[in-house]
Structures are given as structure tokens and as C-alpha cells.
């Protein structure tokens, strides 16, 4: 019996599987001794979480800069909050993430909804509109969360088999980066310009040519003269793209004057299999990531501006009233055309514009520090 007890103690000291063997052996020994099996309490069944690895199509190079870095932060946040039960593997330079998901090459994407406007033009409302139609990054998120914007986005995304949410913002103070002054509309005529989304349509309407190269080549294209001007988003996005190294001027307020929004989209068939808790984690991770990018841009705006001026001799200038008015006029026409494309777009436009106008009225009526 002593030998049996020793064997049992030994088995208890190793792995959980061996412990189970020890319990079986103890029961057999008890039956041999008394003819009656001892009954041990049943262990509580262990709950092993389902582990998922989502294949993510990243619209940009995976170079730890700008939106690429923010998407990586989001992926790390999701992994940490789910204790590793949801992990995300990245496939970079997949500009059309929605197409990658449709092909079955990815489960989700990080990119601008502008990149998917061929599939659904109204998605541009969720990426940042040009001209005076633009919302600031904070007002845009307010529209999503309390103004009905997310519900509209859900409807459009669901029609494409997706669930999408905002995860990052390029920051404010968008402008055109160039090596020579943009002092008139004539300066843009026939010139090649990089802009995002509906900004491309604005460039064409102003008589310019749209740069068709990858976004990570914009800085070098500006340096070697293939590109006349570039607007990748806000100041933070431009610094991440390396534009201050090769530009001499920043002319604002630009085309997409309040910057652009990066989205995370996941195949809806996968989203529907997630638990309520997992969905809540993804949504809270997206919101936290988005607001962190806004905070970063706001906190470092002055420092980035100073560095651009002192280290790169960038001249910060206002676009002429002629150019600004032209951007606003053509932007209004372009957005109205998108808004009229179908019933979904009409509803989204009505919601967006009502909320934007109300926010602007509130800002105008708000008391200032000196009033």
C-alpha cells in the first residue's frame, strides 16, 4: 500500500494529464481493496476559449509609420484585450482590402473606405469629405456614435458582406505640399497631384492630373518632379510620409481639409460568430485607438509644425481665396453627385449634413473665453 501511495503522490506532482491518470489508478486500487469503488468529486469542466487568427489586408506598407503604425496598435490592442484569443496577422500593401476579403485572401482589412468607393460610392462619407463638407475628426466620431452615422455605415457595409468601424484619423491641418507656390488655379492646371478619395475628383475638376502611383512613393515622386503637389491627410500623415523632406511649402486648408479616417472592416459572417463580449472588445478597441490618434495629432501639432519650419524650412501659407472657393464649389458638386447615387446615399447624406450643420451652429453659438 505504501508503494501505491508513493506512485499516487508522484503522479500528482507532474502534469494535469498525469494527475488524471493518478485518480484513475487510485479508484482501481480502492476497488481491489474493498470491492467498492470510491467516488471522487467531479472536477469542474474547463472552458477553453476559441482562438482565432484573422488575416488582415493592410492598405499601406507595414513600416511602423502613420496609418500602418495605428493599424498595428489596433491589432495589438485586440490581442491584449482578448488575452490572445483573437490575433491578427498582417498582409501589407493591399490597397483594396475589400477586394482581398471578397477573394477569400483576407478576413478583414485596414484602409480608407475611399479605397472601396468603386464597390460602393457612399462609403466615402465614412472616410472624410472634401471642401467645406468636411467634419473634424472629433465631430465625425460624434456623428458615428450619437448621430446615427454608425447605423448607416452598418447598412452599407452589410450589403457588401462586411462590418466596419473607424480606428484611426490622419489628424487635422491637411494641406497641399509642394515645392513651388500654389498661388492660382492656373498653377494646378495640367499638374499631377496626389489626394485621397473624392479629393481625386476635385483635382480632376480643377484641371489637374491624379497621381496613380502607390502612396508610399509620394515623397520621392515629389522630390524627382513626377508630382507637383500632395495631400495625404493631416499634418501627422504628411510627416509620416516624409513630405517635409522634399517639399518647400504647405498650402492650406487643402482639399480634404480635416484629414481622412482609417477603417477596420471584418467579414460579416465572422463578425456574426463572435460573442457579444468579443464584439464589444473590438468596438472599444477601435474607439480607443481612434481617440488616441486624435490626441496624438493634437498634442504634437505644434511640435511637428515647428520641426517642419526649423528643420526643413517649410513655409506654411494659405491657399488663395480663388483656389479655396474653387475647391469648395467643385467639392459640393462631387458630394451631391455621390449623395444622389441611391437611396442609401441619400439617407447617409441627410444624416451627415444635418449633424455637421448642427455641430457648426453649436460651435458658432458657444461662448468664447473672452465673452
Q: What is the pLDDT of residue 40?
A: 44
pLDDT per position as a tens digit, 110-126: 999 999 999 999 999 99
Residues 248-257: pLDDT tens digits?
A: 999 999 999 9
- The answer to whether the CB of 177 falls within 8 A of the CB of 243 is yes
Length of the chain: 371
Closest CA to 64 of 53, 56, 55, 73: 73
CA distances from 107 to 73, 102, 150, 255, 364 (A): 18, 9, 21, 32, 44
Q: Whose CA is closest to 170, among 301, 283, 67, 285?
A: 67
Cα separation of the two ends of the chain: 92
105 touches 91 (CB < 8 A): yes
4-18, 183-197, 201-215: the lowest-pLDDT one: 4-18
Looking at residue 49, its pLDDT comes to 65
Return the DSSP state at 95. S
pTM score, two decimals? 0.83
Residue 95: the pLDDT is 87
β-pairing verdict for 52-58 and 86-91: parallel
Rounded to an integer, the average pLDDT of 64-88 is: 94
* pLDDT surpasses 70 at 268: yes
Task: Identify the CA nearest to 56 among candidates 79, 72, 77, 36.
Answer: 72
Average pLDDT, whole number, for the chain?
Answer: 87
Contacts with 353 (C-beta within 8 Å, 6 or more apart), sequence order:
133
Instruction: Report the range out of 14-18, 47-51, 52-56 with the highest average pLDDT.
Output: 52-56
Residue 12 has pLDDT above 70, yes or no: no
Q: Is the pLDDT of residue 203 over 70?
A: yes
Mean pLDDT on 66-95: 94
The model's pLDDT over 279-318, given as tens digits with 9 standing for 90+, comes to: 999 999 999 999 999 999 999 999 999 999 999 999 999 9
- Is the torsion defined by CA of 23, 27, 28, 30 positive or negative? positive
Categorize the per-residue pLDDT at 32 as very low, low, confident or very high, splitting at 50, 70 and 90: very low
Confidence band for 29, pLDDT divided at 50, 70 and 90: very low
Averaged pLDDT for residues 351-364? 85
Q: What's the pLDDT score for residue 13?
A: 37
Residue position matching grid coordinates 513600416: 63
Euclidean distance between CA atoms 55 and 225, whole angstroms: 37
Dihedral-angle region of residue 194 (phi above 0 means left; psi in -120 to 50 means alpha; beta otherwise): beta
State residue 360's pLDDT score: 84
| Mean pLDDT of the region 65-71 | 92
Confidence of residue 225 (pLDDT cuts 50, 70, 90): very high
228-238 pLDDT tens trace: 999 998 898 99
- Band the pLDDT of 163: cuts 50, 70, 90: very high
Q: What are phi and psi of 13, to 5 degrees?
A: -90, -5
Amino acid 215: pLDDT: 83
Amino acid at each position: 500500500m505504501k508503494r501505491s501511495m508513493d506512485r499516487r503522490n508522484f503522479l500528482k506532482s507532474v502534469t494535469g494529464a498525469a494527475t488524471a491518470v493518478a485518480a484513475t489508478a487510485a479508484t482501481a486500487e480502492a476497488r481491489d481493496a474493498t470491492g467498492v469503488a470510491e467516488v471522487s468529486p467531479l472536477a469542474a469542466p474547463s472552458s477553453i476559449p476559441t482562438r482565432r487568427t484573422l488575416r488582415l489586408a493592410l492598405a499601406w506598407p507595414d513600416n511602423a509609420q502613420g496609418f500602418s503604425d495605428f493599424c498595428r496598435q489596433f491589432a495589438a490592442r485586440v490581442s491584449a484585450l482578448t488575452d490572445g484569443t483573437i490575433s491578427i496577422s498582417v498582409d501589407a500593401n493591399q490597397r483594396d482590402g475589400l477586394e482581398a476579403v471578397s477573394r477569400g485572401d483576407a478576413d478583414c482589412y485596414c484602409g480608407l473606405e475611399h479605397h472601396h468607393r468603386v464597390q460602393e460610392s457612399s462609403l466615402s462619407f465614412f472616410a472624410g469629405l472634401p471642401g467645406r463638407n468636411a467634419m473634424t475628426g472629433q465631430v465625425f466620431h460624434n456623428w458615428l456614435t450619437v448621430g446615427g452615422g454608425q447605423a448607416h455605415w452598418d447598412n452599407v457595409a452589410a450589403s457588401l458582406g462586411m462590418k466596419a468601424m473607424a480606428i484611426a484619423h490622419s489628424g487635422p491641418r491637411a494641406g497641399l505640399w509642394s515645392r513651388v507656390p500654389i498661388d492660382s488655379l492656373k498653377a494646378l492646371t495640367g499638374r499631377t497631384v496626389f489626394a485621397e478619395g473624392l479629393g481625386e475628383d476635385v483635382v480632376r475638376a480643377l484641371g489637374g492630373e491624379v497621381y496613380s502611383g502607390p502612396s508610399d512613393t509620394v515623397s520621392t515622386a515629389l522630390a524627382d518632379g513626377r508630382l507637383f503637389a500632395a495631400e495625404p491627410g493631416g499634418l501627422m500623415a504628411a510627416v509620416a510620409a516624409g513630405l517635409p523632406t522634399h517639399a518647400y511649402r504647405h498650402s492650406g486648408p487643402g482639399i480634404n481639409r480635416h484629414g481622412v479616417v482609417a477603417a477596420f472592416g471584418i467579414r460579416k459572417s465572422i463578425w456574426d460568430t463572435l460573442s457579444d463580449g468579443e464584439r464589444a472588445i473590438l468596438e472599444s478597441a477601435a474607439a480607443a485607438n481612434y481617440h488616441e490618434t486624435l490626441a496624438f495629432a493634437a498634442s504634437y501639432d505644434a511640435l511637428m509644425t515647428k520641426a517642419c519650419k526649423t528643420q526643413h524650412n517649410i513655409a506654411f501659407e494659405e491657399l488663395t481665396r480663388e483656389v479655396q472657393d474653387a475647391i469648395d464649389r467643385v467639392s459640393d458638386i462631387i458630394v451631391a453627385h455621390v449623395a444622389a447615387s441611391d437611396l442609401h446615399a441619400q439617407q447617409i447624406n441627410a444624416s451627415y449634413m444635418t449633424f455637421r450643420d448642427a455641430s457648426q451652429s453649436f460651435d458658432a453659438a458657444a461662448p468664447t473665453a473672452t465673452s
